[in-house]
Chains A and B, each alone.
Chain A
């Protein structure tokens, strides 16, 4: 019985590669793969055929999690869509399940291709998310074909603003806050549709140089939530605003070694609930941070008695903080 990819013969694929890259770059040998179950089999220069479209496989993407920077993700491959010449990211099925510890709580997480595929359908056309489509390969694996976003990580962009925190906060932060509010509104869009991002981290936001917008990426994480579907996303948004308001994380060990007087003003309640080595009560470090903004940060501190349950609650407070930033800086954006 013919498999879906078999209608594309090697000669046809060689022609595609020739048209795209020139005859001298056509590999002497390569595999044509229609079943991606064993993603380790997919090697550089192989061609994966999905829904009759050939993808010329290039490098692995990298993972920065758990301190293992540049750890190759063998199930995530950069590829050239040979029918269009466009760069795509192929996310192959990897049923990873693992335990992580956040705020001292163990959580079992897993990767869900189905969830990511469903969200790709949901966010199609939304400017603040990565875009793509999904297809089932010959073995029924849900492969996501993502559009490649050209641009740096949002956190890297922000870290480069200003000569110091004072300069950053008075000249750049209002613009950053506006971008953050837009990102929170994007998460609200998911929540309003009964979905969660699942892995909100600052390195999961890419500044798209073409569309001039920040875009959330990587929504294949899932876990069994407790009372609320949204709480875990909310803590991710909290970590992000603390990072943005501080122009980077303000780390307790750094204060201890370099700014002992400031360190001595801190109490346990001033620290981040999720990461105990980070300061959440940033007003103690940067006194010009308005109360309204600092109150938002304190929702994510160990001293918090009440937490944000929804993005709506947070967006309301962000609007107040934004108005205070306009008053403080005299800037509109």
Chain B
């Protein structure tokens, strides 16, 4: 399915469509492993592995060329990580046609909001995220993606894996 083509979503409404929101962290890997363990053998489960990379503004780079270079490197690294996560799911017995990878590089003010936008578009019934276990103070200063999703998710279940 292409990035903007959601034509086959009607079919997915009848499936158990899980969205696993991941990054490069160990927590994300644990979330993927948990789903692999929990849902193995379910033929009607469809899993989207989603990674959001917030597009940094020009401020962080001396030139636009450097910014583009960063984006390319980030995309390459994340593609590799996502392929690894997919391999975990395949190794657990899920089939290739049950898994989709989405990597979205976009300007975003909140990663949690961006994940929930994707959830709404894809009409996933469960959002799965890992939790970093950040401190109270860190959450105060920078926010927490898992808390954001827990507080703002609509029309879906949320699974937070520690």
- Interface residues of chain A, those whose CB is within 8 Å of chain B, are 102-105, 107, 112, 114-115, 118, 191, 194, 222, 224-232, 235, 273-274, 302, 304, 307, 309
Contact = CB atoms under 8 A, between A and B. Distances in A.
A228 B110 contact: yes
B141 A191 contact: no
A29 B143 CA distance: 54
Residue among B107, B112, B136 with the highest chain A CB neighbour number at 10 A: B136
Interface stretch (B2-10, B28-36, B55-63, B88-96): B55-63
Nearest to B149: A227
A105 B141 CA distance: 8
Given A103-B137, A191-B109, A273-B137, A231 B142 contact: yes
- Interface residue range, chain B: 20 to 34
A118 B143 CA distance: 25
Nearest to A111: B59
Contact of B140 (A112, A229, A304): A304
Contacts of B112: 227-228
Contacts of A194: 107, 109
A302 B135 CA distance: 12
A65 to B, nearest CB: 18
Contact of A102 (B108, B139, B141): B141
Contacts of B139: 307
Contacts of B138: 103, 105, 226
26 contacts: A103-B138, A104-B137, A112-B59, A112-B60, A114-B58, A114-B59, A115-B57, A194-B107, A226-B142, A227-B110, A227-B111, A227-B143, A228-B110, A228-B142, A228-B148, A229-B109, A229-B110, A230-B143, A231-B143, A232-B142, A235-B141, A273-B140, A302-B136, A304-B140, A307-B139, A309-B110
A268 to B, nearest CB: 12
A102 B135 CA distance: 13
B51 interface: no
Contacts of A274: 140
A228 B140 contact: no
Contacts of A105: 135, 137-138, 141-142
* Binding site secondary structure of chain A: loop
Contacts of B59: 112, 114-115, 118, 222
B119 interface: no
Given A225-B143, A235-B140, A307-B143, 19 more contacts: A102-B141, A105-B135, A105-B137, A114-B58, A118-B59, A194-B107, A222-B59, A222-B60, A224-B56, A226-B141, A228-B109, A228-B112, A228-B142, A229-B110, A230-B110, A231-B142, A273-B136, A273-B137, A307-B139
B144 interface: yes
Interface in B120-150: 135-145, 148
A103 B138 CA distance: 8
A225 B140 contact: no
Residue among A225, A226, A231 with the highest chain B CB neighbour number at 10 A: A226
A107 B141 CA distance: 10
B107 A225 contact: no
A19 to B, nearest CB: 39
Given A114-B58, A114-B59, A115-B57, A226 B137 contact: no
Contacts of A273: 136-137, 140
A309 B109 contact: no
B71 to A, nearest CB: 15
Contacts of A304: 140
A191 B142 CA distance: 15
Given A114-B58, A115-B57, A309 B140 contact: no
Residue among B107, B136, B141, B142 with the highest chain A CB neighbour number at 10 A: B141
B88 to A, nearest CB: 25
Contacts of B142: 105, 225-228, 231-232
A307 B144 CA distance: 10
A231 B109 contact: no
Contacts of B143: 225-228, 230-231, 307, 309
Contacts of B144: 227
A232 B57 contact: no
A307 B142 CA distance: 11
A231 B145 contact: no
B126 to A, nearest CB: 20
Contacts of A104: 135, 137
Q: Which 4 pairs between the two chains have the least Cβ-Cβ distance?
A: A226-B142, A227-B143, A228-B143, A103-B137
A186 B110 CA distance: 20
